[in-house]
């Protein structure tokens, strides 16, 4: 604590921001649950219980690391079993957001605070002021002083969770659903704060060096990516910007409007997509991906065209053959899009096998020549892919010149330098739509 205060004195602005937050005792440090009236006090308890659940999980992570601060991450007490029990309580708590909301508002509810809430709030686990989550909450309270404590700390809890990157797809999304059901903020835009990449990085620079050594990354860039994830997922989960919003925007653009008669006239068909993260709606880099955007466009214009995705992060052709090909083939699609990584000769063999199998079943099979995936950036392998595809009767839609000529190309790559942002997915959605309609792709000026 003494070292933390010395650092604080070197940064007076941060010290002032911390003062307001640290003067309030943390519910997670109380030993018993206090009777509360319905409203903000109960919402606050629900937030603090989730902060404790995530903290317990991260203490378990810290015990597997070296050079952790024992004041933040106790080495032996509570026991691992007790910490795991707290994690289980949080999982249970998150499973009933509607009942929790009713209880918080004083409405009739089956929610029993003694079941999961009380064990979390009364846990004998200290949460010091210089934990990353408390540091960020103090910073945020200073930036948005007009918001209540639980409105600040619900967002801080999401940051706390996303800094440990392995729970993006499960615990983090459960927290979004829980807090949205409670009517609490889930990203800083709801507090009136800016979410540009530059501002998120500036926040990381302010916070750098003030948190205790932790089992999560705390560099300015890691705070920045955490902020971008929470912002984008917040807008997506609140439907401020998601696949449907982007679909509606694209359908209003002149070059897409000219295709609407063709979309409406398309006979009923099934379109299967077997693809890696560039095709997946869940990823944080963009409000949606080009495949679900086009799916939403057809849902609005021609619901008789049915889509089904078979997806997985980092999906190779060999994994796709093993995990998805049988089910996709059994679905009997009319058109199949393959967006897969090929690193080995076995991948190329399985790419050919899937293409031949779908073709034999009467499907049209398509892939793009290049989707800007860094894992597929080897020109020699791309040539081998094209050769294998054509040998199997797979159509290769040539989009690489279109991507290269885009005026937005410099904005395609997201902060992780792997995945793609909204401008990329908007452009690819248009080309995927043209592929479905068997229309010429966008022409590139020479």
Q: Are residues 49 and 154 in the same domain?
A: yes
Tell whether 223 and 266 lie within a shared domain.
Answer: no
Same domain (yes/no): 151, 128:
yes
23: confidence class by pLDDT, cuts 50, 70, 90: very low
Residue range 384-401: mean pLDDT, rounded: 94
- Average pLDDT of span 2-6: 43
Look at the chain and report how many structural domains it folds into: 2
Asked whether 101 and 180 are in contact (CB, 8 A), the reply is no
Give buried/exposed letters for 101-127 (b at 16+ CB in 10 A, else e).
bbbbeeeebebebeebbbbbbbbebeb
- CA 62: distance to chain centroid? 24
Residues 248 and 123 in one domain: no
* 150 within domain boundaries: yes
Kindly state whether residues 287 and 227 are assigned to the same domain. no
In this predicted structure, what is the pLDDT of residue 66?
A: 87
Res 350 pLDDT > 50: yes
In a domain, 443, yes or no: no
Q: Residue 230: inside a domain, yes or no?
A: yes
403 by Cβ neighbours in 10 Å (0-12 / 13-18 / 19+) ranks as buried
Judgement on whether residues 206 and 321 belong to the same structural domain of the protein? no
Same domain membership, residue 29 and residue 172 = yes
List the structure tokens of 44.
Answer: 């606050």
CB 18 within 8 A of CB 27: no
Is residue 377 scored above 70 in pLDDT?
no
**Measuring CA to CA, which residue among 273, 278, 347, 350 is closest to residue 310?**
273
Euclidean distance between the first and final Cα of the chain, in Å?
Answer: 64
Single out the residue of 405, 422, 435 nearest to residue 293, CA to CA: 422
Single out the residue in 237, 269, 291 at which a domain terminates. Answer: 237
Residue 377, in any domain of the structure: yes
- Structure tokens given for 424: 């990329």
Contact 231, 195 (CB under 8 A): yes
Task: Of 431, 441, 353, give the one whose Cα is nearest residue 394.
Answer: 353
Query: Residues of the chain with pLDDT > 90: what percent?
Result: 84
pLDDT in tens, 172-227: 999 999 999 999 999 999 999 999 999 999 999 999 999 999 999 999 999 999 99
Residues 153 and 294 in one domain: no
Q: Are the beta carbons of 182 and 36 closer than 8 angstroms? A: no
CB 439, CB 266: distance < 8 Å: no
The domain boundary, picked from 181, 204, 237, lies at: 237
Q: What are phi and psi of 435, to 5 degrees?
A: -60, -45
Last residue within a domain, chosen from 208, 237, 266: 237
pLDDT score for 282: 85
CA dihedral 254, 259, 264, 268 (to 10 degrees): -140
Q: Which CATH number characterizes residue 369's domain?
A: 3.40.50.1110
Domain match, 300 and 258 both: yes
Domain with 190 in it: 2-237
Whether the pLDDT of residue 49 is over 90: the answer is yes
Query: Any idea what the CATH number is for the domain that residue 117 is in?
Result: 1.20.1090.10
Residues 203 and 228: beta-carbon distance below 8 Å = no
Least confident of 237-251, 252-266, 379-393, 395-409: 379-393
Q: Same structural domain for residues 228 and 258?
A: no
In a domain, 106, yes or no: yes
Q: In what order do the strands lie in the sheet with 395-397?
A: 305-311, 269-275, 335-339, 364-368, 395-397
Q: Do 334 and 422 have their domain in common?
A: yes
In a domain, 442, yes or no: no
Quick check: is 44 in a domain?
Answer: yes
Comparing CA positions, the residue from 128, 163, 161, 429 lying closest to residue 273 is 429
Q: Is residue 325 domain-shared with residue 414, that is, in the same domain?
A: yes
- C-alpha 233: how far from chain center: 5
Report the candidate in 153, 236, 229 with the shortest Cα–Cα distance to residue 191: 153
Closest by Cα among 230, 312, 254 to 279: 312
User: Does the pLDDT value for residue 72 go beyond 80?
Assistant: yes
Q: Is 184 strand, coil or helix?
A: coil
Evaluate whether residue 318 is within a structural domain.
yes
Rg (CA), the chain: 25
Q: Tell me: pLDDT of 88 over 80.
A: yes
């Amino acid at each position: 604590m003494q070292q933390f205060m010395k650092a604080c004195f070197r940064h007076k602005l941060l010290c002032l921001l911390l003062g307001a937050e640290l003067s309030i005792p943390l519910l997670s440090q109380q030993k018993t649950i206090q009777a509360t009236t319905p409203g903000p006090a109960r919402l606050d308890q629900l937030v603090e219980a989730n902060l404790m659940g995530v903290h317990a999980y991260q203490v378990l992570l810290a015990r597997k690391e070296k050079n952790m601060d024992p004041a933040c991450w106790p080495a032996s007490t509570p026991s691992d079993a007790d910490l795991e029990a707290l994690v289980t309580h949080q999982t249970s708590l998150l499973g009933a957001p509607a009942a929790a909301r009713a209880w918080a508002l004083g409405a009739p509810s089956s929610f029993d605070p003694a079941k999961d809430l009380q064990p979390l709030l009364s846990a004998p686990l200290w949460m010091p002021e210089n934990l990353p989550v408390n540091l960020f909450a103090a910073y945020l309270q200073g930036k948005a002083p007009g918001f209540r404590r639980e409105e600040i700390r619900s967002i801080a809890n999401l940051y706390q969770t996303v800094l440990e990157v392995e729970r993006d797809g499960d615990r983090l999304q459960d927290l979004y659903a829980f807090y949205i059901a409670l009517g609490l903020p889930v990203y800083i835009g709801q507090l009136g704060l800016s979410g540009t990449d530059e501002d998120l990085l500036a926040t990381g620079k302010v916070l750098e060096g003030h948190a205790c050594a932790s089992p999560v990354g705390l560099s300015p860039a890691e705070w920045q990516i955490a902020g971008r994830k929470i912002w984008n997922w917040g807008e997506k989960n609140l439907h401020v910007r998601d696949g449907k919003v982007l679909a509606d925007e694209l359908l209003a653009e002149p070059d897409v409007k000219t295709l609407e008669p063709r979309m409406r006239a398309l006979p009923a068909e099934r379109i299967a997509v077997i693809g890696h993260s560039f095709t997946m709606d869940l990823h944080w880099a963009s409000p949606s991906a080009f495949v679900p955007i086009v799916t939403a466009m057809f849902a609005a214009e021609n619901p008789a065209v049915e889509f089904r995705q078979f997806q997985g992060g980092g999906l190779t052709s060999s994994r796709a053959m093993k995990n998805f090909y049988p089910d996709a083939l059994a679905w009997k699609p009319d058109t199949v899009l393959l967006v897969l990584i090929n690193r080995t000769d076995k991948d190329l063999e399985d790419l050919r096998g899937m293409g031949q199998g779908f073709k034999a079943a009467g499907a049209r099979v398509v892939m793009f020549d290049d989707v800007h995936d860094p894992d597929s950036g080897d020109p020699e392998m791309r040539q081998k892919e094209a050769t294998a595809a054509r040998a199997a009767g797979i159509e290769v839609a040539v989009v690489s010149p279109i991507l290269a000529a885009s005026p937005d190309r410099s904005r395609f790559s997201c902060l992780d330098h792997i995945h793609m942002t909204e401008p990329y997915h908007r452009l690819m959605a248009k080309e995927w739509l043209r592929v479905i309609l068997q229309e010429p792709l966008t022409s590139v000026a020479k």
